[in-house]
Structures are given as structure tokens and as C-alpha cells.
Amino acid sequence: MVNNAPVVVSAPGKVLLAGGYLVLDRAYTGLVFGLDARLHVLAQPISTSTGVTLNEIVVNSPQFQGAVWEYGYRVTEQEGGIQVTQLRVDADLNLNRNPFVETTLSYALSYISSVAKPTITPASITILADNDYYSTPSDLSNSSTTSPRFHVFDTPISKAHKTGLGSSAALVTALTASLLTYYLPSDVIDLSTESGKRKLHNLAQAAHCAAQGKVGSGFDVASAVYGSCLYRRFSPSILSSHTEPGRPEFGAQLKSIVNETDIKWDHEIQKNAVKVPQGMRLVMCDVSHGSQTPGLVKQVLMWRKHNAEEAGEIWDELHEHNTALADELKKAAEKSDQQYDQITEHFRTIRRLIREMSEKSDVPIEPPEQTKLLDACDEIEGVVGGVVPGAGGYDAIAVLIRDDESTISALRKLFSSWRFMSSEQGGEEAGGRVSMLGVREEMEGVRAEQADAYKAWLQY
């Protein structure tokens, strides 16, 4: 029986502190931290007049202009699952596609219909993102008054500047989790259990890979489900053979993949391997410069392919120090002394190796402008170390610091006056600025929220 009570689920953002590029290969791991900026998804019945029957799901993201998507759905033949089609409200309007929402609906509803045969009733889905997922206007971030929990941006979502916290993975995970919780009873799937989380992980990975058109490493979805962890990717072959939504056998194949009927997923999630020492915190900084991550990854992998021995030596040494960094963080968290020299040395060695990889692959993983910024951060008392996280480039920096006001104030002062200078423009200012986000590490992954805390978006 469908649960008609509103359901709210949230999932955290992420930062890949160590293991960029390496995490694409199962021979290596990635140190990924969840972040306390969360993506929230509210599922509830659609309000209709008596006697009116709908066969649609309406998704809206009220923080952005025109962010409403209406979908029709139908059960397909030969176990093809649920086919989802975006509806055109006005023939004169262009369809505003959202592949992550549309694909996730197809996958989640198909799985739901395959495991319990429930009636998929019409629903209203509301997506709410914590403010740090997007670069907030200066009048909001500098305001002395309390800023709204969910800022309303005066822009379409396609033009909003993301801060690189993994919004797509958090969205897919939270949307999948909310649909599973809304449509299925807890005796079929319970997301508070390890079994429930594993099925959510498998389904969200499948949907996210399909939405982005490729099988990625999946560290971002893993972090959205489990929170901070040491992650080893799954074999790409697990998701390479199933058919498309709506095609014969899709629902049956998806059920088998998610429930691991025929093949077991081989990813590794090491929660206990990741800790942050008491009195320390992770700081994320938005750099309004921007990088095209897929392009960077493609170039680095091409360099590795053509320079296997040279790349292998760098990757192996990077992996050694990435793993050692996680070990040292855990050791420091489990003992009372405040010595972080070894952690700092691992940060510096990781950065040196990344710069070497940048130079040899001719890819700006840690560009000179970011090197200057991180070096300036290292000069501040209380900064343990920092990196350009993930695939690198100009998007962000992550810094581990002593969690006190003097260190935070010194960083804010540095960032407030920092301007990037472009070597290509003869040393002229390139227009980039740096802002400290209000996020920090988050150990917990996906979780159910109290619907009453979202009263402004409830339809009763």
C-alpha cells in the first residue's frame, strides 16, 4: 500500500580530498568526504479536485525560475518497467529537459514496480538545495541578517553557478531514496538498514550513470549514500549490459542488478577508515573561474594510456600518500596530542605529485594560480594543508584547518583581497574571486527528515 504521508529525504554533497583520477581505476581508492550542504527531496500526493484522476508526477525546484517538470508515466509490456515521458504543457514552449530527474524517475519507478507491484499514484516532488550548492549573491553572503535556509535565486537553474559540491549525485540519491520510501513499505526496503542502503546505492549508481551518459567511478553517489568514506569503485561491466527504460526486460534486469541476484557489486566502502581529528575541520572555497571536468579527465586518461610506465609510477606514489593521509587523519583523531606534521607532509607530497602529473599531461589539475593560492593558505597559522580536489582545475580548493575563529578569520581576510592574475594576459587580473563556503565535513550519508520542518512546501 502506498504511503500517502509526505516523505522528505536528504543527501550530502561531497569533496574528493585525495584520489582524483586514481579513483577511476579499481586498483586505487579515493578519500571522499561528505559535506553538510544537503539536497532535500520532498514527495507528497498531488492535490486534486474530487473525482479528478491524474497519471503524472510533477517535479519542481522553487529556488529557480521556471524549474517545473511534468511527467506522464505508464507501465510497459514484457517487464519493461515504467516509461516516463515529459509532458508539453504549452505547444509554444520549448521542453525544459532535466535528464537527471527524468532518468531517476524512470529507474526508481521501474525498480519499485518490479519488486512490489504497487500502484504508482500521482505525486508532487519538491527539490530544495542548501545555499552553498550555488554561488550566492554578494548581498546574501555579506548580509548581517540571517539568510534564508533555501535562497531563491533570480535565474533559471541552467544559468546558476554551481560550486562543485556534487549536486547531481546528491539529487539522484535523494530523489531515488524519497521515491523508494514514499512508494514502498519498510518491510520491502528500509533505508535505515545496511541492506536498504546497499540497494539504494546500486539503484542510484545505475540512474546517475545513465543520466550522465557514462559509467563514472561513482564516488559521488557513494558519498551521498554513505557519507565520508574510503571508496573503491565498482567494475563498469556491472552496468554495461542492461537495456533501456521501457524496453522489454528492463524492469527485470534492473531488479536483478539492484538486488544483486546474478552478479554481486564489487565496490568497497570503508567508513571506519575516515575520521577528522577533534578541533579540526574541512573548509571548502568556491573559485569563480570554472573548469570543464570531463575534458580534463579525458586528457589525463589519454596521457596515461600513451605513457603507461611514467603515469603508473606517479599514480602508485600518489596512492601511497593518499592512503597514508587517511591513516594519519584517523590516528590523529584517535589520540589526544595535536601534532599534525605528518598530515601536512602528506598534503605537500600529494600536491607535488599532482603538479608533476599536471606538467606531464599538460592538464591544469593544479594550475599555477591555484598553487599560489594554496601556498598562501599554508602560510596561515592553523592551516594543516590543502588541495585542489577531485579532477582539479579552477573550480575550488579544500583546506584542512584548526577549527578556531582566528584561523577562519585569517582565511577570510586572505580570500577577500585575492584576485587571480592571468599569465596569458601579461599579468592582468583574470576576474576570479575566492569565497569561503559555509560547509564542513559530514560523516553521515542519506537520511530521512521530519516533514514538518518543510511546512512551507507541504500541500495541505
Report the pLDDT value the prediction gives residue 336, as an integer from 0 to 100: 72
**390 φ, ψ to 5°?**
60, -130
Q: Are residues 361 and 379 in the same domain?
A: yes
Count of the separate structural domains present in the chain: 2
Q: Which residues of 410-430 are buried (b: 16+ CB within 10 A; e: fewer)?
A: bbeebbeebebeeeeeeeeee
Q: Are residues 122 and 194 in the same domain?
A: yes
What 8-state DSSP symbol labels residue 23?
A: G
Report the pLDDT value the prediction gives residue 141, as an integer from 0 to 100: 47
Would residue 28 count as lying in a domain? yes
Q: Are residues 352 and 427 in the same domain?
A: yes
CA distance 413 to 441: 22
CA distance 166 to 30: 15
Would residue 90 count as lying in a domain? yes
Which residue reads 565498482 in cell numbers? 234
Would residue 1 count as lying in a domain? no
Would residue 84 count as lying in a domain? yes
Q: Are residues 237 and 299 in the same domain?
A: no
Q: Are residues 185 and 236 in the same domain?
A: yes
Q: Are residues 241 and 390 in the same domain?
A: no
Q: Are residues 47 and 189 in the same domain?
A: yes
Would residue 106 count as lying in a domain? yes
Q: Are residues 200 and 294 in the same domain?
A: no
Q: Which residues of 447-459 are buried (b: 16+ CB within 10 A; e: fewer)?
A: bebebeebeebee
85 contact partners, CB below 8 Å, separation of at least 6? 71, 72, 73
Would residue 420 count as lying in a domain? yes
Domain of residue 141 covers 7-271+444-457
Report the pLDDT value the prediction gives residue 433, as an integer from 0 to 100: 79
Q: Taking a C-beta distance cutoff of 8 angstroms, is the pair 298, 363 a contact?
A: no
CA distance 346 to 176: 37
Give the number of C-alpha atoms closer than 13 A to the C-alpha of residue 124, restricted to the C-beta side: 15
CA distance 282 to 437: 11
Q: Which candidate, 231, 443, 236, 226, places its Cα nearest to that of 322? A: 231
Q: Taking a C-beta distance cutoff of 8 angstroms, is the pair 197, 445 a contact?
A: yes
Q: Which candidate, 61, 116, 109, places its Cα nearest to that of 85? A: 109
CATH number at residue 126: 3.30.230.10
Q: Which residues of 241-270 are buried (b: 16+ CB within 10 A; e: fewer)?
A: ebeebbbeebbbbbbebbbeeeeebebebe
Report the pLDDT value the prediction gives residue 290, as an integer from 0 to 100: 52
Q: Are residues 79 and 224 in the same domain?
A: yes
Q: Are residues 209 and 339 in the same domain?
A: no
CA distance 8 to 43: 6
Q: Is-above-0.85 flag for pTM?
A: yes
Report the pLDDT value the prediction gives residue 218, as an integer from 0 to 100: 96
CATH number at residue 336: 3.30.70.890
Alpha helices in 362-456 (DSSP H): 368-378, 405-416
Please give the average pLDDT of every successive group of 10 residues along the chain, which has 460 residues. 80 96 96 97 80 78 93 91 82 69 97 88 95 70 61 88 90 98 93 97 97 91 98 95 91 96 96 94 82 77 96 97 96 86 97 96 94 96 96 91 96 90 50 84 96 86
Q: Which grid coordinates belong to 42?
A: 520532498
Alpha helices in 229-364 (DSSP H): 250-259, 293-306, 308-334, 341-361
Q: Which residues of 40-64 are buried (b: 16+ CB within 10 A; e: fewer)?
A: bbbbbbeeeeeeeeeeebbbbbebb
Q: Are residues 263 and 319 in the same domain?
A: no
Q: Are residues 312 and 258 in the same domain?
A: no
pLDDT one-digit tens code per residue, 390-420:
999 888 899 999 999 999 999 999 999 898 7
